[in-house]
Structure 1
Amino acid sequence: MVNLKRIMAGIIAGATVVSMAACSNSTTDSTTTSSDTETTIDDEIENPVSVGDISIDAGEEVEPAELEYLGGYDITTAGDVKPAYKYFSENYGCTIKCTLVGSMQIQEKLTTAISSGESPDLVDYSDDTFPLLMSKNMYTPLEEYMNMSAPQWAGVESYINQYKWGGKNYYYPWAYNVSPNFLVYNRGVFEQIGIEDPKELYDKGEWTWDTMTDCIRKFIDSDADGNRTGLYGATAYSAQSFINSTGTALISVGADGKLVQNFSNANVDRAANFMQTLKNEGLASFQEGVIDVDTTPIKEGTAAFQGMGEWIISGYAKLMQKDDTLDYFFVPFPRDPEADEYYYSMSTFGYLVPAGSKYAKQASVFINCCRLSFTDEDLRATTKGSIMRNKKYTDEMYDFLMSFKDIDNLHAVIDNPYGLDETTSQIIRDVLGNTLFEMYSEQYQGQTWTQMREASLGTINKQIEYYNGLL
C-alpha cells in the first residue's frame, strides 16, 4: 500500500494545481479536436454555452490557426474554460486540438515534441514547471505578447514575477487558487454526532489547529467500536498546507529572484511537530486499503476529514444532486493559532507556450481569454453557469470556492517545493507525507521530522545552489 500511495501522490501532484474543471476530465493518452463545425454532446446537451453577447479585449487580431494543446484535460469542453475557448474560437478564428496525457507524462511528451520540431502551442503548468523545466529552456517568453497594464492583469503582477526565470516571464497564470486544498467532511454525520460545523467555526474566525483537533477527537470518540478515523488524503499537500498556515513557504523566491529554502525555519518546525502529534495520537491515518483519493470513508462517515484538492469537491456535489439527504462540505486547512494572520497556501494554474511554438501570439490571446473569465463581469457570469452545469456545485459550494479566488483579501503563501529535480522533489514529498502519516515511505519510517529534514537538507541545498547558479 505504501507504493500505491506514492503513485497516487505523483498523479495528484499535477492535479492539485489545476483549476475547478481540469482534474475531473480524462488524463489518458488520447487526442480530441474541436472546430466551429463540429456538434458535440457537450455543446448541445450537457453544457451549452453562448458568448455571442460578450465583448472583451483579449488582444489584437491574429491569423486564424489550429493550436496544439498538450495536457491533462480537454480545454475546449471543461466547465471553467469552455466559455473562454468559445470566445477565442468565435472571435479570433482559432481552434485548439487537445492531446491528453497523464500529468506525469507531460515532461517526457513535451521534450520529445520540442526535439522533433513538433512543439505544441499550449501546455499545462505543473509542479516541475518552475524552476526545473524553465531552466531547460522548454518555454517561450511571453512579454512581447502580454500587456500587463490590461485590466485583467491588475493586482497579480507580483505573483507572475514569482515565476520569472532569468529575467523573463514565461508563465502568466490565469487562475489564482488561494487554499487549493480543502478538508472535506460529511456535514450530515457531524450534525448527528453533535460536532460543531467546521464551516461555522471558519465563519466565526475560530477554525484553528486546535478546533480541528477537537473535531477529530470527538468524531473518533463517537464510535464505541473504534471504527472511525480522523484525517486522511493527499499526504504531502496536506502537510504543506499546515506548514503554509504559519505564513512560511518551504521554498520561496527572494527579492533577488533566487530560491530560498526554509526547512529549518522555527515556524516550519512548529507545524511539523503539530503534525507529528496528530500522527502519533492516531488522529491522522489511513484506513486499511484506503488511498488518498478514496471517497468512501467520507461518504460512509467513517473518517472525519479528507484533505484533497478542490477538484474532488465536484464528485461529492454530484452525489448530493442524486440524493438530497446527503450533506458534504469543506473548509480550508485551519489557521495556525500562533500566526498573526490566517495564511493560506496558494497555487496558480495556467498554460505556457512551449519553445518552438508557431502560434505564440494566438496562444497568448487564449490565455488572456481565460484570465478574463475571472475579471470580465459578463464572461465571468457565463463561466459560472458553465461551471455549475459541469460540476454540479450547490450555490453554497460555488460561492465559498470563489471566495478563495479573491486574492486581494486573503494572505496567500506561494510555495514551490516540488519543482526541483525529480529525485529531490520526491524526497520532499516523502518527508512531508511521513511527517503527517505513518509509513508513507519505508526509508523514513519511524523517524522524526528533525531526523528526516537533516538527512535531506544536503540534497535540497545542492539543488537550490544549482538553480541559483544559473541565474
Structure 2
Amino acid sequence: MERLAYLTVLILLLFSLLLSACGGNHRENTDDGEVQLTMSAWGNPAEIKVYQKALDAFMADNPEIKVELVPIPNDGYQDKIMTQLSGGKAPDIFYVGSEWISKIVETGKVVDLSDFLSSDESYVKPDEFAEGLWGAAKINNQIYGLAVDCNPFVLYYNKKVLEEAGVKSPQEYYDEGKWNWDTFAEVTAQIKESGKKGFILDGWSGPLFTWIWTNGGEMYDEDGHIILSENEEAQEAFKYISDMLQQGNFTYSGSLPQGQGGDAMFMSNQVGFVGAGRWYTPMFSENKALEFDYIPYPTNTGEQQGTVSIATAYMVVNKDSKHLDAAMKFASFYTSPEGQKARLEGNGNAVPSVLGADEIITEAEFPEHAGYLLDARNKGRVDDKQSVVPGMDKEIMDIIDLMYLGEQSAEQTIQAVTKKATEMIDEYRNQ
C-alpha cells in the first residue's frame, strides 16, 4: 500500500510538471498592464525618424502599450527576418517587402488580419486602402499584410548637374510634350559628356517594371504566365536599358564601389537623375545645398504619364507575439489615415496608401512638383505576378543582373528569364 501511494504521488507530480511545461510554451495573449512590443523596419536615418513619429502618436493614444523601433539595415534585412522567424525571436510587428511577402505568408508565421480589421478595435478598414496595393499580401480574401504607405516611381533630377551640363529643365520638355525615351537618351548623354553620371539604374524589379510599363509592355499576362518572349514592347524595354548601359548614359548601381549609391552621388552633385519613390525626399531635403525636383518617368507611348511601378512594404504581425491584440491594434494604427498623417506630413518618405489623405502630398511645400507623386500613384500599380511565386523575383533579377553588368545581351536575357520563369511558375502551380 505504501508503494502504491508512493507511485500515485510520483505520477501526479510528473503529470503536474508536464502541464507546467506545456503551459510555459503556451502563447500569452493577455494585454493587462503595460505591454512591450517591438517593431522592425529598414530605412536610412531620415526614414527611421519618420517611422518614429507614428510610434510616438500611437503611444500617446495608448499609454499602456510601449512600442520600440528596432531598425535593421536594408542589406540583409530579409535574411535576418527569416532567421528570426525560424528561431522564434522575430519582432512583434515588422515590415515585409512586396516582392517577398508571399514567402513570409508561406511560413505560416504571420497572422491573418481579416477578422481584426473588421472589429471595433481596428483603426483602419480594408476598403480604405487604394485598390491595386494588396499584391500578394491578400490571398483568397485573407489579409496577411497592410500597405504601410506606397511609393510610386518618379525621377528626381539634380538642377545643378543639369545646369552645368547645359541641359534645359525636364519640366520644359514635359510641358512641350517631348519628355520621352529619345529625349532622355539625349539628356543623359549630355550629362555624361560633362563628366557626370546621367542616370543610376537600381537592380530590383520596381525600376525594371517601370521601364516596361512606360513602354506599354507586359512581362506577364492576366493569368500570371510569362509572355516576355511574345511581347514586343517589353522586349524593347530590355533593349533600351541594355543600350543605355552600354553607351554609358545609365550606370548600374550594382557596379558602383561598395558603399557608394545613387542617393549619395545625387547629393554630392555627381549624377543627374535617380529613380525612386518619395523615400529619398526627407534625406535630400535636409541637404540645404541640394536643388532637386520630381519629373515623371519619360514614356515611349505618346502619353505624358505612363504606368509606373509602385513600391510598397507591408506591415505584418508575428503569430508568435505574446501580445497579439496589442500588436494588431498598433499595425492598424500605423497604416491608418491617422498613422500615415503622423509619418508622412511635411517631407515624409512616402505617399498615403489609404484614400482621403492626399492633402499630405498636395500641401507639401517642397519640392515644387510634389503632385507628380499622386499622378504616378493613380496610374501605377504593384507587381502581383512576379512576386506571387515565392523566390521567383530574386531568381529573375539575378538573371537580369548579368545584363546590367554587361555580361549578357538583352536577347540572351529575355530567353533566360522566360525559361526560368516558366519553370518556376509551372512548379508552383503543380504543387
For the criterion TM > 0.5, the same-fold answer is: yes
- 1:95 is matched with 66
Partners of 1:448 and 1:348 in 2: how far apart? 30
Q: What is the aligned counterpart of 2:237 among 245, 257, 271?
A: 271
**In 1, Cα distance between the equivalents of 2:261 and 2:95?**
22
Using the alignment, how far apart are the partners of 1:402 and 1:140 within structure 2? 35
Q: In the alignment, what sits opposite 2:115?
A: 144
Q: Is the 8 A contact 1:79 1:387 kept in 2?
A: no
**Cα distance, 1:268 vs. partner?**
1.0
For 1:363, what is the secondary structure of its paired residue? helix
Q: Aligned in 2, Cα 1:309/1:161: closer, same or farther, shift over 3 Å?
A: closer
Q: TM-score, length-normalised on structure 1?
A: 0.67
Q: Which moved more, 1:457-466 or 1:199-208?
A: 199-208
Matched, 1:124 2:95: yes
Distance 1:356 1:403 in 2: 41
Map of 1:68 onto structure 2: 38
- In 1: Cα distance, 2:184 partner to 2:380 partner: 20
* Paired residue type of 1:269: Q
Pairwise CA distance, 1:415:
5.0
Partner of residue 160, structure 1: 134
**Residue 106 (structure 1) shift:** 4.2
- Equivalent residue of 1:452, what SS? helix
Distance 1:281 1:76 in 2: 34
Does residue 454 (structure 1) correspond to residue 415 (structure 2)? The answer is yes
Q: 1:265-299, CA deviations, whole angstroms, 9 ceiling, x for partnerless residues?
A: 32211211222232333322369965661456545
Which whole-Å CA distance do the structure 1 matches of 2:305 and 2:263 have between them?
32
Q: Is the 8 A contact 2:98 2:135 kept in 1?
A: no
CA contact (8 A) 1:65 1:94 kept: yes
Q: Does structure 2 conserve the Cα–Cα contact (< 8 Å) formed by 1:67 and 1:97?
A: yes
Query: Of residues 381, 387, 396 in structure 2, which corresponds to 1:412?
Result: 381
Given residue 172 of structure 1, which amino acid in structure 2 is its aligned partner? Answer: L
TM-score, normalized by length of structure 2?
Answer: 0.73
The DSSP-based 3-state class of the residue aligned with 1:365 is: helix
Structure 1 position 95, deviation (Å): 1.3
125-134 or 243-252, which deviates more: 243-252
CA distance in 2, matches of 1:328, 1:360: 43
Aligned residue for 2:321?
357
Aligned counterpart for 2:203 among listed residues 235, 239, 243: 235
What's 1:194 paired with?
A: 166
Distance 1:218 1:77 in 2: 33
Q: RMSD of the TM alignment (CA)?
A: 3.9
CA offset at residue 370 of structure 1?
Answer: 2.2
Match of residue 285 from structure 2: 317
Question: Where do residues 7-18 of structure 1 align in structure 2 (5 Å cutoff)?
Answer: none
Give the conservation status (yes or no) of the 8 Å contact 2:136–2:387: no
Q: What is the Cα deviation at residue 140 of structure 1?
A: 1.1
1:107 CA displacement: 4.3
Displacement of 1:146 after TM fit? 0.8
Aligned partner letter, 2:162 = F
1:232-280 deviation per Cα after TM superposition (whole angstroms, max 9, x unaligned): 241344333211323555457x4xxx64434333221121122223233
2:144 matched residue in structure 1: 170
Question: Quick one: structure 1 residues 95 and 200, their matched pair in 2 at CA, closer, same or farther if it must change by over 3 Å?
Answer: farther
Structure 1 counterpart of 2:396, which letter?
I
Superposed displacement of residue 395, structure 1: 5.2
* Residue matched to 2:10: none
Aligned counterparts of 2:110 and 2:422: Cα–Cα separation in 1: 25
Aligned amino acid, residue 410 of structure 1: K
Q: Would the aligned equivalents of 1:209 and 1:337 in 2 still touch at CA under 8 Å?
A: no
Question: Is the Cα contact below 8 Å between 1:244 and 1:413 reproduced in 2?
Answer: no
Q: Give SS of 1:344's match.
A: coil
Structure 2 segments unaligned to the other structure (5+ residues)? 1-30, 350-360
CA distance in 1, matches of 2:315, 2:177: 35
Preserved CA contact (<8 Å) 2:46 2:283 = no
What's 2:297 paired with? 333
Distance in 2 between residues matched to 1:210 and 1:293, nearest whole Å = 26
Q: CA deviation at 1:457?
A: 2.6
- Amino acid across the alignment from 2:185: T
Q: Report if the CA contact (8 A) 1:164-1:170 is conserved.
A: yes
What corresponds to 2:226 in structure 1? 261
Change (3 A) 1:381 1:298: closer
- Secondary structure of residue in 1 paired with 2:237: helix
Are the counterparts in 2 of residues 176 and 348 from structure 1 also a CA contact under 8 Å? Answer: yes
SS in 2 for 1:123: strand
Identify the residue that residue 191 of structure 2 maps to in structure 1.
219
Change (3 A) 1:304 1:329: same
Secondary structure of the equivalent of 2:143? coil
Q: 1:90 to 1:348 in 2, by over 3 A?
A: same
Question: Relative to 1, partners in 2 of residues 1:340 and 1:193: Cα closer, same or farther, differing over 3 Å?
Answer: closer
Give aligned-pair identity as a percent.
17
Unaligned runs of 5+ in 1: 1-61, 440-444
Q: Secondary structure at the match of 1:183?
A: strand
Contact 2:57 2:342 in 1 (8 A): no
Aligned counterparts, 1:345-424, within 5 A: 345-372=309-336, 375-376=337-338, 380=341, 383-385=344-346, 387=348, 396-397=365-366, 400-401=369-370, 403-405=372-374, 409-414=378-383, 417=386, 420=389, 422=391, 424=392
Q: Relative to structure 1, is the Cα distance of residues 398 and 309 closer, same or farther in structure 2, using a 3 angstrom cutoff?
A: same
Aligned counterpart, 2:6: none
Larger radius of gyration: 2
Structure 2 residue 78 is matched with structure 1 residue 78: no
Aligned equivalents of 2:384, 2:176: Cα separation in 1: 27
User: Is the 1:176–1:407 Cα contact (8 Å) retained in structure 2?
Assistant: no
- Name the amino acid aligned to 1:316: F
